[in-house]
Chains A and B, each alone.
Chain A
Amino acid sequence: MQRTEKQEFTTSRGTRFMGISLLLGIPTLLIFSFLLSPADDNMDDAVRLIYVHVPMAIFAYVAIITTGIGSVFYLWKKSRWWDTVAHASAEIGLILCGLVLVTGSIWGRPTWNTWWEWGDVRLVTTLVLFLMILGYLALRQVPANPDLRAKRASVVGIIAAVNIPIVNRSVEWWENNTLHQKSSLTDGKLENLTLFTLFLGFIVVGISFLWLMTHRFRVGWLATEIEADGITGVIQERLNEGNSGGENPNYQQKDEVQ
């Protein structure tokens, strides 16, 4: 009966606003990416992929860092809220990481003349990051005590997050072992319209990240509430059994069948 009083949906004024912004932002980004921004002298039309590839890569890092922060705070505060944040963020991080690998491969084919380059440290470490999050989510699916599972997943989440600097700085550390070019943004090589489209990409991917994160968090929170309600219900049932002298209609029914 109590459940009818709780919020059982994941939308709010904020998520509706983000959703509407995305409905406008995604077509605008597509127009700027494919029609208004110029092709690159070296990469030709392949450059248009960086408008989503680079923002997704950055927000994949943000998602995994959020998982790391959530994991640290869970271990510190033992708060379900932080655990739900870490879990939600990891799922979105996995999707973004996967999309980064796919768009990177598509971009690599015309640019590097290969779908995949094993010698490229950043590519390989991004794949490793993807596999690490897969492991994290596999651990989260194991049927176990929620607190025990959350505690262990937190440690895996922290390790995934501390792995990010290795991924991100690998280009600078092992320059001779990568095909990746240095960041075009910090080099200041991008033209005005290209730069604007890239920033638009950051905004659109950023809002998508927040929108997905909010919904996934709320779904996760509702799931933990149902789980907690289930446990409370079972405890209450056992207490009622105790109060009524140990008579449980379910057991009686089983006895009758036997």
Chain B
Amino acid sequence: MFRDAWLVTKKDLLIELRSRILINQIAPYTLLILVLFGFALDADTETLRDTGPGLFWVSTLLVAILAIQRSVDVETSDSAIDRLMLSGISPTSIYVGKTIGLYLQLIVLEALLFTVMVVLFDMSVVDYPLVIVSAVVTTLAISSSGTLYGVIASGLGVRETLLPVLFLPVLAPAVIGATRAFGDAFGRVNADGWAWLGLLSVIAIVYTLVGMLTYGNIIEDT
């Protein structure tokens, strides 16, 4: 299963490398969101430092919606998904492969977002392991649910509006946990960030399992 999944991941990453949509369009959009938040909130750096962890994850979710739509487009245009199914790769492998592909793309975008945020908002990290672990777990929750919901919203003619309505509430608990964890890692909130990793791990595992079990039912009608 994992060999097939890795093939799907490599295919998605190769398409991204060749099309450069991630680098040329989605990455600048990521930075733009962060700059706009800076304009909207306050020129006061202290305010931006306090809200920085939340802004990071809200920006990530907004960017994730674009990345998910891009990930689905790759399969639905020219009925590529039919050929993928005919190749004999199981729906579970396709799901895992696309989740990993989306995961790696989001990690790259988050690294960029994080660096820019630290510089622009003049933030200092007090707990690097917490930042890394919470980002790793939360991104899994985002990519596993995003891959599933991207397919659910596809082919109905209302994907652009339906996807956020379905996807954002699902990720809301993850955003709460990740924001608290980041807030603790940046020393901005009085919370035990490591304790929130329990919630994040449960969400990531549950959504991944549901995705693996149900993806096949949906993809056959895409």
Contacts and interface: CB of A to CB of B under 8 A. Distances in A.
Contact of B199 (A138, A154, A158, A166): A166
A26 B163 CA distance: 41
Contact of B156 (A144, A147, A158, A174): A144
A152 B158 CA distance: 14
B165 A158 contact: no
A155 B210 contact: yes
Contact of B169 (A121, A132, A147, A177): A132
Interface stretch (B14-22, B43-51, B105-113, B200-208): B200-208
Interface string A146-163: 011101101110110011
B203 A151 contact: no
Contacts of A159: 145, 170, 207, 210
- Interface SS of B by simple majority: helix
A148 B191 contact: no
A154 B170 CA distance: 15
Contacts of B170: 132, 159, 163
Which range holds the interface residue count of chain A? 20 to 34
A159 B158 CA distance: 21
B214 interface: yes
Contacts of B157: 142-144
Contact of A125 (B162, B173, B206): B173
Contacts of A163: 170, 173
Interface in A106-126: 121, 124-125
A158 B214 contact: yes
A134 B199 contact: no
Contact of B166 (A128, A143, A149, A156): A156
Interface string A127-142: 0100110110011001
Contacts of A135: 165-166, 169
Given A148-B221, A162-B206, A155 B152 contact: yes
Contacts of A174: 195-196, 199
Nearest to B172: A128
B148 interface: yes
A44 to B, nearest CB: 31
A75 interface: yes
Contact of B173 (A139, A148, A166, A176): A166
A70 to B, nearest CB: 14
Interface string A165-202: 01000000110110000000000000000000000000
A131 B172 contact: yes
- Interface SS of A by simple majority: helix
Contacts of B28: none
B169 A152 contact: no
Contacts of B166: 135, 138-139, 156
A158 B210 contact: yes
Interface string B162-199: 10011011101100100000000000000110011011
B25 interface: no
Nearest to B214: A155
A162 B173 contact: no
26 contacts: A75-B214, A124-B173, A124-B176, A128-B172, A128-B173, A131-B169, A134-B165, A134-B169, A138-B165, A143-B157, A145-B221, A147-B221, A149-B156, A151-B217, A151-B218, A155-B218, A156-B152, A158-B214, A159-B207, A159-B210, A162-B206, A163-B170, A166-B199, A166-B202, A173-B199, A177-B191
Given A135-B166, A155-B210, 11 more contacts: A75-B217, A121-B176, A135-B169, A138-B166, A139-B162, A142-B157, A147-B221, A155-B214, A159-B207, A166-B173, A166-B202
Interface of A: 75, 121, 124-125, 128, 131-132, 134-135, 138-139, 142-145, 147-149, 151-152, 154-156, 158-159, 162-163, 166, 173-174, 176-177
